[in-house]
Amino acid sequence: MDPGGASQRSGRSAETRWRGHIVRQLKHRDRSQNAMFQDLIRFYTQLLEKTNLTKRLLSRRPSAGGGASLSSLLQQNCQLKKTTGELAYQVVELQQQIRSKECVVQEQQARLQEEESRLTGVFDTHRVLRERVEQVEVENRTLKTEYDELLERQRWAESRLREEKVQEEHLLEDMMYMKKQAAALMNTRNERRSRARQATLQKELQTAARSKVTIDSPSSAPTSRSTSPKDGHQDESSRRTRGRLFRSASSPRNLGFFFPSLHLFDRKRRGHSVCLQEDQLFPVGVCLSARVPARALHVLEAHEEGINAVRFSFGSDLLATGGTDRVIKVWEVRAGSLTHRTTLDGSTEGITCVEFDPTGWKILAASYDRSALLWQLDASVPKVTLTGHSRKVTAARFTCVPHQVVTGSQDRTVRLWDLHRAACVQQVEAGSYCTDLVCSESSIISGHFDSKIRVWDPRAVSCVQELPAQGRVTSLDLSSDRRQLLSCCRDDCL
Amino acid sequence: MADDKDVLRDVWFGRIPTCFTLNPDEITEREAEPYYLLLPRVSYLPLVTDKVKKHFHKVMKAEDVEEMWFEYEGTPLKWHYPIGVLFDLHASNTVLPWSITVHFKSFPDRDLLHCPSNSIIEAHFMSSIKEADALKHKSQVVNDMQKKDHKQLWMGLQNDKFDQFWAMNRKLMEYPTEEGGFRYIPFRIYQALSERLFIQKLFRPVSPEGNTHTLGDLLKEMYPDALTNDGEQKRYQVLIHGIEPLLETPLQWLSEHLSHPDNFLHICAIPVPTD
């Protein structure tokens, strides 16, 4: 222990000593001076107060009982009597008051009873109301549960809707993707085909160029050779067949015409369309030579994609071409070359067939988009769109009746349309996919995929005649006198 | 410290049993009974003797009543001393209860101050507190107090409310810790057998060397007679609140805990009774 700590401790002990001393002394002082006398003094004070009280009482009595004179007594008596009288009067008065009060009390009791009865009535109604409240509450609860259920169902339905929407989106995306793929595939295939086609064509051209065409001198032409009207026709048919062949082989972008026979005819007319020449030549009935056209007179890159249909107008020197690039182009044929005149668009798919009307002002086209379209030459948008077929429309022709057209479709029907109303007038189930149509005055002739040529009566809507062909009929045409029919079949025969 | 709080409580609730008797010279209608009362040591006579006054008024004619004053064995009791001091100074070591004679006549103007109302006592009490605080804190604390704080001190004393009084008095007992105590200890030493009223001087709670001053140091400085030398018989009792603290008790602690409500440490030096 260090001395500092010791001194501190001694200091503390000293502190406790003097402090303890003081506390002890104070306690002792209180005991001797306070506690001992506390009760004593209290009791003394009480006693003093009591004695004072008794003293006062004692001191008062002798003064009250002191000798009083008789007169004062009498006076007192009189006064007392007076007060008695007053008191009696007061009693009577008070009794009266009591009676009136009783009346009031009774009245009040009656009212009280009345109020009580009313109260019970009110209580009853209250109970009834409470019952009703409970009932309503129960109903409310059931409604609430129903509502909750409905809410739950709605939520469920909404979630399902959302799911469906998501699915739909997915499907849409998938579809888009597929379509894109399909388009890409188609493009590549087309390209491949076109390349192959071009190759063959080139080869053909080469062969054609190599094989020297033996053209007779124009001076000997008009009088010699056969005069069959069929020849010219044959020319055209063969040309068309070639066109068809082009189409079936996914035509190239070059449009080639073989006009060798033109040299057989009048030189002045060279360069005019074949149809025009035929029309003018036919009445003459002279055709000097008939030959399969072997040389392209004019080669033109006309369309962006394959050409499906080609047609001359009846009267004027116009040529219409329709292709898979969805447009129809009208060309003016002049001096053996084609100049572009107008483009008709409106079809949403490729064109399968084109025809001029007898006036040469309207063009009818059949389209892959299951419709047939009618243009006027001076308007590039279609005037009428005939819809109704369920597959692609393969053929569309004007009938001999004005404002009437007939269409054949892959959906195995042939339909008759009224152009005024732009509506289907008649529909014939042909039984097979119709590839081409021609119209005479009284009948419609259709070539079919099942190697049959059917002749229809447009008024009776019935098959008049059924002619068998050797193969699938791909194309038909009628001679100008409408008595002879030319058909083109898949067995490579005319 | 819990002990300290108990000490404060014991000091506050110190009581002296007193028997008031009417001066036989007074003219009474009938015999006056003596009146007994426990007087609080820390209070002043006029504050607690209303009942005495009432009691004796009953037996006296109103016209004979003048200002009441008290006397003990021929000594008029100064009302401006705390009751405990009066008792310790004049009547300690006597048989209890303390018998005080009550006078209503012939007021000793030379010895006593008149006390017409409690406001006089209040003024005296507050001036004592201010004087004590001037010694302790250069009056800073008491001047910082508001009027209502002063009132709280006075009302605490007047109504004998220990907590109310000490809630405020606590502030007066604070001191900066680095100084180890008050600037000066407010004390008064009363001598029973002296013409001097009391000794009051400046005295620091800590010596210049840093030692704490004790009660013994104070007495040695102020009143050496009160101390007993070795081998001598004890001549004086040193009473504070009726007790004799040890001389080694630190003066600062005494000032904090054994002071009267007026913040003075009232010390009574009385001769040891010789039987």
CATH code of the domain in which A368 resides? 2.130.10.10
Interface A–B counts its CB contacts (< 8 A) at 83
Contact predicate A415/A409, CB 8 Å: yes
Asked whether the beta carbons of residue B248 and residue A17 sit closer than 8 angstroms, the reply is yes
Q: pLDDT 10s per residue in chain A (494 long)?
A: 444 444 556 666 777 788 888 888 888 888 887 787 888 888 888 888 888 888 778 876 554 444 456 778 888 888 899 989 999 999 999 999 999 999 999 999 999 999 999 999 999 999 999 999 999 999 999 999 999 999 999 999 999 999 999 999 999 999 999 999 999 999 998 899 899 989 988 998 888 887 765 554 444 434 434 334 444 444 444 444 444 444 333 333 444 443 333 333 333 333 333 333 333 333 333 344 455 555 666 666 667 777 777 877 776 677 888 877 778 888 887 766 777 777 887 777 788 888 887 777 788 888 888 888 888 877 777 788 888 888 888 888 887 777 788 888 888 888 888 887 777 877 877 777 777 877 777 778 888 777 778 887 777 667 777 777 777 777 777 766 666 777 766 665 55
| Closest by Cβ to B7, choosing from A23, A45, A51 | A23
pLDDT at B207: 82
- Taking alpha carbons only, the member of A405, A475, A470 closest to residue A435 is A475
pLDDT at A3: 44
Q: What's the number of domains chain A is made of?
A: 2
Element (H, E) at A374: strand A371-376
What is the rounded distance in angstroms from the CA atom of residue B156 to the CA atom of residue A461?
Answer: 133
Instruction: Provide the token pair at B228.
Output: 């007993």
> Is A218 a member of any domain?
no
Q: Does B35 touch chain A (CB under 8 A)?
A: yes
- Which domain-ending residue is among A159, A185, A211? A185
- Tell me the Cα Rg of chain B: 20
Instruction: Provide the token pair at A9.
Output: 């401790």
CATH number corresponding to B178-275: 3.10.20.90
> Is A294 a member of any domain?
no
What is the rounded distance in angstroms from the CA atom of residue A485 to the CA atom of residue A233?
Answer: 11
> B27-67: per-residue pLDDT in tens?
777 777 888 888 899 999 888 888 888 888 888 877 777 88
Instruction: Provide the token pair at B91.
Output: 């009547």
Question: B100 - beta bridge partners?
Answer: B20
What is the rounded distance in angstroms from the CA atom of residue A12 to the CA atom of residue B100?
Answer: 43
Instruction: Provide the token pair at B250.
Output: 């630190």
> Is A256 a member of any domain?
no
Contact predicate B108/B114, CB 8 Å: no
Asked whether the beta carbons of residue B38 and residue A41 sit closer than 8 angstroms, the reply is yes
Q: Return phi, psi of residue A293, to 5°.
A: -65, 135
- Which domain-ending residue is among A146, A167, A185? A185
Measure the CA angle with vertex A453, ends A324 and A251; round to 5°. 20
| Interfacial A residues in 28-87 facing B (CB < 8 Å) | 28-30, 32-34, 36-38, 40-41, 44-45, 48, 51-52
- What is the rounded end-to-end Cα distance, in angstroms, of chain B? 40
> Is A226 a member of any domain?
no
Contact predicate B192/B90, CB 8 Å: yes
Strands (DSSP E) contained in A291-336 are 296-301, 307-312, 318-323, 327-334
Q: Is B189 exposed, middle or buried (0-12, 13-18, 19+ CB in 10 A)?
A: buried
| Interfacial B residues in 151-190 facing A (CB < 8 Å) | none
Q: Taking the mean position of all CA atoms in its chain, how far away is CA A190?
A: 35
| Closest by Cβ to B17, choosing from A18, A22, A41 | A41
- Taking alpha carbons only, the member of B145, B141, B52, B57 closest to residue B99 is B52
CATH number corresponding to B117-174: 1.10.246.190
Same-fold call for B15-103 versus B178-275: yes
Q: Is A198 exposed, middle or buried (0-12, 13-18, 19+ CB in 10 A)?
A: middle
> Whole-number mean pLDDT of chain B?
85
Higher pLDDT, B179 or B69: B69
Q: Does B37 touch chain A (CB under 8 A)?
A: yes
> A340-397: per-residue pLDDT in tens?
777 887 777 788 888 887 777 788 888 888 888 888 877 777 788 888 888 888 888 8
A419: domain range?
307-489
What is the rounded distance in angstroms from the CA atom of residue A110 to the CA atom of residue A123?
Answer: 19
Q: Look-up: residue for tokens 């064995």?
A: B73
| Closest by Cβ to A18, choosing from B96, B241, B248 | B248
| Closest by Cβ to B3, choosing from A19, A32, A38 | A19
pLDDT at B123: 92
Higher pLDDT, B189 or A431: B189
Q: Is B235 helix (H, G, I), strand (E, B) or coil?
A: coil
Provide the shortest C-alpha distance from residue A46 to chain B (in Å): 11
> B82-116: per-residue pLDDT in tens?
999 888 888 887 887 888 998 888 888 888 888 88
CATH fold for domain B15-103: Ubiquitin-like (UB roll) (3.10.20)
Which residues of chain A make contact with B3, given a CB cutoff of 8 A?
19, 23
Q: Is A464 helix (H, G, I), strand (E, B) or coil?
A: strand
> Is A286 a member of any domain?
no
Indicate which of A7, A8, A17, A41 best probes the interface with B, i.e. most B CBs within 10 Å of its own CB.
A41
What is the rounded distance in angstroms from the CA atom of residue B87 to the CA atom of residue A32?
Answer: 14
pLDDT at A63: 47
B198-199 sheet: strands from edge to edge: B198-199, B187-191, B265-271, B236-239
Count of CB atoms within 10 A of residue B147's CB? 7
| Closest by Cβ to A33, choosing from B3, B16, B37 | B16
- Which domain-ending residue is among A185, A207, A231? A185
